[in-house]
């Protein structure tokens, strides 16, 4: 079910539960800003979810309320994960959904990192 991308933050969402260790994940990267793990329903040979450790509902929330240091930390982590996974040579895609029309399903800001094959063009 799509979510609005605006608050209030629901601490019972699946990513919040993963961050608290209540739900397991196949983690591949963690630092002070993010936890990254493989998507359980991958859309590409490499499909990683990168989630900030702090509670943001969507990119709208994150971009408006996170401190600059955290925004930089999250984006640098995404780049490092792509590098660690060997995706830089052939490229990769970063996607975030925000709000109803985007199809956002989990009310916790996250970035999809996709790669490992030629990806289809964006929808028109």
| Residues annotated as catalytic (active site), given as ranges | 110
Q: Which residues contact 33 (CB under 8 A, 6 or more apart)?
A: 52, 53, 70, 73, 74, 77
Q: Which residues contact 7 (CB under 8 A, 6 or more apart)?
A: 57, 61
Neighbours of 61 (CB within 10 A): 20
What SS3 class is residue 61?
helix
């Amino acid at each position: 079910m799509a979510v609005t991308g605006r608050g209030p933050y629901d601490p019972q969402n699946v990513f919040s539960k993963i961050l608290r260790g209540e739900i397991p994940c196949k983690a591949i990267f963690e630092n002070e800003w993010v936890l990254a793990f493989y998507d359980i329903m991958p859309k590409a040979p490499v499909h990683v979810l990168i989630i900030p450790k702090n509670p943001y509902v969507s990119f709208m929330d994150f971009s408006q309320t996170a401190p600059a240091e955290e925004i930089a930390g999250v984006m640098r982590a995404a780049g490092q994960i792509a590098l660690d996974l060997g995706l830089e040579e052939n490229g990769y895609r970063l996607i975030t959904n925000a709000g109803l029309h985007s199809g956002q399903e989990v009310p916790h800001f996250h970035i999809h990192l996709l790669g490992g094959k030629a990806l289809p063009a964006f929808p028109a």
